[in-house]
Structures are given as C-alpha cells and as structure tokens.
Amino acid sequence: MRIRIIKPGLLSTIQDMGRSAYLSQAVPVSGAMDSLSARIANCAIGNADDAAVIEFTYAGAELVTETDLLIAYAGDGAILSLAVGDIPCERPVFIPAGSTIKLVNNPSGSRTYLAIAGGFDVPEILGSRSTYTRAVIGGYNGRQLQAGDVLNSIDQLSSTAKNILKMLHGDYPDYPNWSLARQLLLPTDKKAIRVVRAHEFSWFDKASTDAFLSTPYTLSLRSDRMGYLLEGTAINREVNTELLSTAVTPGTIQVTGSGSMVLLMADCQTTGGYPRIAQVALVDMPLCGQLKPGDAIYFYAIIRQEAEMLYIEQEKKLLKLANTVNSKFL
C-alpha cells in the first residue's frame, strides 16, 4: 500500500510509541503526542500498538492513494475527507487507488493520526520509527513530511487486517457500521488535567500551590512538541536551593526562574535544572496532546497510586478493544 503527500500541512511527521530505552543516553522519547488516538487508529485495522502512523497537526494536509488502502484514523485536529464526503473515524476504511484525501479543520483539538494496514515502512532507529526533528533521526529522513514524499506500508499484514480487507472491498469508501468510541476512554472534562505532586512541590509557597490547583492556565503561542509554556498565576518559591540537573519526562511540569511553568511533552529533554511542581498522570497525557495555544486547563491533584490504577484500567480497556477487533475477524 502506498500514498503520496500532495500538501504536508503545518507539521506532519511519522510517529509511533517512542523510544524510551535510551533516556539514560539523553535521547528523548518522542513518539505520538496523543498516544491514545494513535493506538486506537492502529487497533481498528489490526496493527500492533507501536506501528508507525502519520501525526498531522491541525488541518490543511492532502494526500493521494497510489494503491488501494486499508486505513483508520483518530484524533481531534482534523476530519479526513474524500470527494464523496467525510471518512468516518476510529474504524477500518477501504479506500481505492487514485483517491484524494484532504484534512478539514476540526476545532476540537490539534492532532490527528492516520494508520495504514501494516504500519508505515520507515527505518527503525534506536528501537523506534518516531521522528525527532531536532536531531534529524527517525521517521522519513528525520524530518517532517513534504510535498512529493511517497510512503509505503510494511507488506506483512496481520491476519486481522487481511480479513478486514476481504470484507471491505466494494463501495467508495467502504467501512463497517461500528467504531471504537475513543471518547469513552477519556474523561468528560477534557480541560481538567490530573497531576501527582512532584519532588519539589514543597519548594513553593502555599498561595502558589493553591493557585496551581485551582486557577486556569493557558497555553502560550510558545508551545511545541518539546513543551508547552503555561500562562497564568506566577509560582513563587520558598526554597531557593539550587537544583542539580535531574530526571524529567513527558508530563513533567517545571517552574522556571521567572515563576512561569512549562509542561514537557513528547520531544522534551531527559534532564533539567528547574524544580518540578507536578507530573501529569499518564492517562491524561493524550488530553494534553490535543491542546492548542489559547486553550485553558485546570490541574487537580491525585495520589500516585490512583494515577497507577487509572493507567492500569485504561490498558485493560485497550486490550479488550484489541481482542474484540481481532476476534471479530478470525
């Protein structure tokens, strides 16, 4: 299966679940900003969780199918559309060769993930196909996609994908009447972000920590895949001890010397010298991945054990979804 990029959009890159095995060597995780949407798209067509997908930022991209395709997409940044109408999300869709797919704006979020049966065939670098543009590694030649790029799928399809293709081969496009209902895996309030207090939480005065857990913070225009600068009530320190460079990871919220906060995201560094006020619960990182400049969010604290249980419960649901899709096409 093969597609060609006509218009790349604002920022389109190949991503998967990232490269977490090289943090000790200062290699960022990278990977999908909204891992849940990427996994749902892969699950719908029988791919492995970590199959490479295209991460589109906002709308404006356009591509043409050079062969027949089996695809699925998920996310809130755009709606995929054909000449005959919109393509439904979160389910397998057969699209014949010669079709033009356009990404139309969806104001609900910022990122959309396109999966193709087998996953996109790009080299695996340090255990991942994810693009890290700052170091020019991974993905398609280590860079964002450009007009004229041709992307192939991995030839070896799962038995689920093969059986879906046997069922979907007629109409334009052809798809089943079910979907994976990603929204049921997300909290109702998508602007309320659960956090666990970090090691240096007690370094900040009570007025600041109270404000952190009760007032809104807005994403600055100075936000990217490395991190989001948060605008709102300044955070004041009581403890002025210098912090040696220490471990950080996507979801870490650091407080800068000026009292502003930075929420680290997929392409963040692996260590940092700013004190950490909180860590976003892993299950809420997909919510953060869909934020855009101007969005206002709230933080509220939970304990580490609750964050772990929320993660375990979500993983159980995702496993059940994958098993259901696979059993449906035995």
Q: Which two tokens stand for residue 98?
A: 């010669």
d(CA 227, CA 235): 18
- Amino acid identity for residue 190 in this structure: K
Q: Tens digits of per-residue pLDDT, 262-276?
A: 999 999 999 999 999
Asked if 189 and 297 count as a contact pair (C-beta separation under 8 A), the reply is no
Give the chain's end-to-end CA distance (angstroms, integer). 22
Q: In Å, what is the CA distance from 78 to each residue of 8, 108, 111, 319?
A: 13, 8, 7, 26
Q: Which two tokens stand for residue 5?
A: 């990029």
d(CA 208, CA 210): 5
d(CA 188, CA 135): 37
Q: Which two tokens stand for residue 224?
A: 């990217």
Asked if 29 and 277 count as a contact pair (C-beta separation under 8 A), the reply is no
Q: Is 2.40.100.10 the CATH number for 192-311? A: yes
DSSP alpha helices (H): ranges in 103-260?
Answer: 159-167, 206-212
Q: Beta strand 53-57 with 111-116: parallel, antiparallel or unpaired?
A: antiparallel
Indicate the DSSP class of residue 67: S
- 290 alpha-carbon distance from chain centroid: 8
d(CA 63, CA 75): 18
Q: What angle do CA 291, 297, 302 make, to 5 degrees?
A: 110
Among 51, 52, 71, 62, residue whose Cα is nearest residue 1: 71
Domain boundaries, the chain: 2-184, 192-311
Q: pLDDT by residue for the chain (330 residues), tens digit each?
A: 899 999 999 999 999 999 999 998 999 999 999 999 999 999 999 999 999 999 999 999 999 999 999 999 999 999 999 999 999 999 999 999 999 999 999 999 999 999 999 999 999 999 999 999 999 999 999 999 999 999 999 988 888 888 888 888 666 788 888 899 899 999 989 999 999 999 999 999 999 999 999 999 999 999 999 999 999 999 999 998 878 889 999 999 999 999 999 999 999 999 999 999 999 999 999 999 999 999 999 999 999 999 999 999 999 999 999 999 888 776
Neighbour-count burial of 48, counting CB atoms closer than 10 A to its CB (0-12 exposed, 13-18 middle, 19+ buried): middle
Asked if 46 and 119 count as a contact pair (C-beta separation under 8 A), the reply is no
Sign of the Cα pseudo-torsion (116, 119, 121, 122, in order): positive
- The answer, yes or no, to whether the previous bond of 173 is cis (omega within 30 of 0) is yes
Tell the residue number behind the tokens 């790029």, with chain if given.
149
Tell the residue number behind the tokens 């943090």, with chain if given.
23
Give the global pTM. Answer: 0.95
Task: Give the contacts of 311 (CB within 8 A, at least 6 positions apart).
Answer: 281, 282, 283
